[in-house]
Amino acid sequence: MDKTVHVTATARGLFAGRVVPQMSKFIIEGGRTLRGEVSVSGAKNAVLPIMAASVMADSPCVLHNVPDLTDTKIMAEILKGLGVRVDRIGPDGSSLYIDPRTLNRHVVDELLMRQVRSSVFLMGPLLGKVGKVQVSYPGGCDIGQRPIDLHIKGLKSLGATFTEEHGQIIAERDRWEGVDIHLDIPSVGATENIMMGAALAKGVTVIRNAAKEPEIVDLQGFLNSMGARIRGAGTDVIRVEGVTNLYGCEYTIMPDRIEVGTFMVAAVITSGAIWIENALPEHVQAVTAKLREVGAEITEKDRGLYVKGTGRPKPTDVKTLPYPGFPTDMQPQMMALLSIAEGTSVITETIFDSRFKQAEELGRMGAKIRTEGRTAIIKGVPRLSGAMVEATDLRSGASLVLAGLSADGVTTVNGIHNLDRGYERLEAKLASLGASIKRVLGDEPVHARLRVTGMN
């Protein structure tokens, strides 16, 4: 299903050696009940900082359960651009061999940087390892303001000096010493960047008001496997005792909790029944609670979840919050579900502004959604109807696919390159559950604008 093209220098100089997502769309015939078993892939939001952190090792790392996504491909290209060797290995290619011994650059490729926001994760590791880094501001933003001031503030307090030239952020360190940092907001990315940088600092760093997301616990697990001394991830105080060097290790990436949540909603929205293999129920408790409220039957097992839809969902109110609250990355999918609820629901988005892009597209399918700032009021309708819609970012794309699965008639979802950033083999997995979904190359002309939003 690899629809990503590695364009050669002779083919198109501008994109030489770069990962260029191909335009494609999904054609979904809705109304099928999804049943069966599906296995979730490794977590995108865990593997990206972990790939960045691997440059700090003195010897090669092997990562297992690495999802094959546009974002992981781009991150691999970024690492290669820094001189690091990166190869897909293993019988099914789901492992990544990363050899950072040949790391010889500290300037992150600007075009790639614009394609994947997570390239900012190189700041902490490169400052820690080689003492300098040059990045550009991460690319366009479709889910509201996403500054990186807290990343910079944290790394400055460890001892880095930042300057800005022609849109490039250039940072260098002289001292690199542990410090007490209190984050203004529990930012996931800032927590991770500071943890990585502090792993190689002298002395102890304490990060207070840290984000508590499971991906941060996974990053701690990886860093500690490399010889770091970190504890507290998963709580709001993280303590990093700096070490002088880190070594290569073997590590398995946690399952993707947002992919789990997306399949949970797929079961409920199609009144189906899905066993989600490799899911960690404790990571999706907020989603489970909401889906139970709307009437779903959910059974939790050690490494899996059984989710059964029981007809039209009941309405409910949802407020996105930092973990363990309801994840903002599941908000668009929940909106699709609530658009067919038996009554009116309210969604409040507290993490990002402009994260209701899917509302207008769902409206094309007959949903009755009114948005006011960070609030969306959703008046449930009995059924959605197929239409041509556009995925403007990763999770809004997921929301439209879910809506298309439950709608009457045919839905065309354009802008699938946004979904390829974060869902591995999505159409194959959905088809194996009985969905009628196929990928067709080429966007509809009216939508044929390349938008890689670089978001979440």
Cα 67 → chain centroid: 11
Residue 148 sits in the site that holds ligand UD1 (CB under 6 A):
yes
Q: DSSP letters of 312-334? A: SPPP--EEB-STTSB-GGGHHHH
Q: Could you tell me the two tokens for 398?
A: 């997921």
Burial of 56 (0-12, 13-18, 19+ CB in 10 A): buried
Least Å from the CB of residue 320 to ligand UD1? 8
Tokens 């839905």 belong to: 411
Question: Of 338 and 398, which has the nearer Cβ to ligand UD1?
Answer: 398
Half-sphere exposure of 340 (CA within 13 A, CB side): 28
Least Å from the CB of residue 11 to ligand UD1? 30
Least Å from the CB of residue 163 to ligand UD1? 18
Interface stretch with ligand UD1, choices 100-108, 145-153, 300-308, 399-407 (CB under 6 A):
145-153
Residue 283 sits in the site that holds ligand UD1 (CB under 6 A):
no
Please, are residues 374 and 349 in contact by the beta-carbon 8 Å criterion? yes
Catalytic residue among 141, 170, 217, 410: 141
Least Å from the CB of residue 118 to ligand UD1? 5
Interface stretch with ligand UD1, choices 24-32, 146-154, 166-174, 398-406 (CB under 6 A):
146-154
Least Å from the CB of residue 198 to ligand UD1? 16
How large is the angle between the packed helices 44-53 and 214-225, nearest 10 degrees? 30
Interface stretch with ligand UD1, choices 93-101, 149-157, 249-257, 285-293 (CB under 6 A):
149-157
Residue 421 sits in the site that holds ligand UD1 (CB under 6 A):
no
Question: Of 352 and 423, which has the nearer Cβ to ligand UD1?
Answer: 352
Question: Of 49 and 304, which has the nearer Cβ to ligand UD1?
Answer: 49
The correct pick among 352, 387, 405, 417 for binding ligand UD1 (CB under 6 A) is 352
Task: Name the residue type at position 48.
Answer: L
The correct pick among 72, 136, 328, 345 for binding ligand UD1 (CB under 6 A) is 328
Q: Could you tell me the two tokens for 448?
A: 């044929």
Reply yes or no on whether 141 is catalytic: yes
Question: Of 270 and 371, which has the nearer Cβ to ligand UD1?
Answer: 371
Least Å from the CB of residue 435 to ligand UD1? 25
The correct pick among 2, 37, 58, 149 for binding ligand UD1 (CB under 6 A) is 149
Least Å from the CB of residue 415 to ligand UD1? 18
Cβ of 209: how many Cβ atoms within 10 Å? Answer: 15
Binding residues with ligand UD1: total (CB under 6 A): 22
Burial of 145 (0-12, 13-18, 19+ CB in 10 A): exposed
Closest CA to 333 of 259, 428, 427: 259
The correct pick among 68, 77, 329, 361 for binding ligand UD1 (CB under 6 A) is 329
Residue 45 sits in the site that holds ligand UD1 (CB under 6 A):
yes
List, edge to edge, every strand of the sheet that includes 410-414: 388-390, 410-414, 24-29, 436-441
Burial of 138 (0-12, 13-18, 19+ CB in 10 A): buried
What is the widest separation between alpha-carbon atoms in the chain?
63
The secondary structure of residue 442, as a DSSP letter, is: S
Q: Could you tell me the two tokens for 371?
A: 């948005």
Compose the 172-191 pattern: x for residues touching ligand UD1 by CB under 6 A, - for all others: -------------x-xxxx-
Report 111-140 residues binding ligand UD1 (CB under 6 A). Answer: 118
421 to 3, 73, 118: CA distances (angstroms): 11, 9, 12
Catalytic residues: 141
Interface with ligand UD1 (CB under 6 A): 45, 48, 118, 145-151, 185, 187-190, 211, 215, 328-329, 351-352, 456
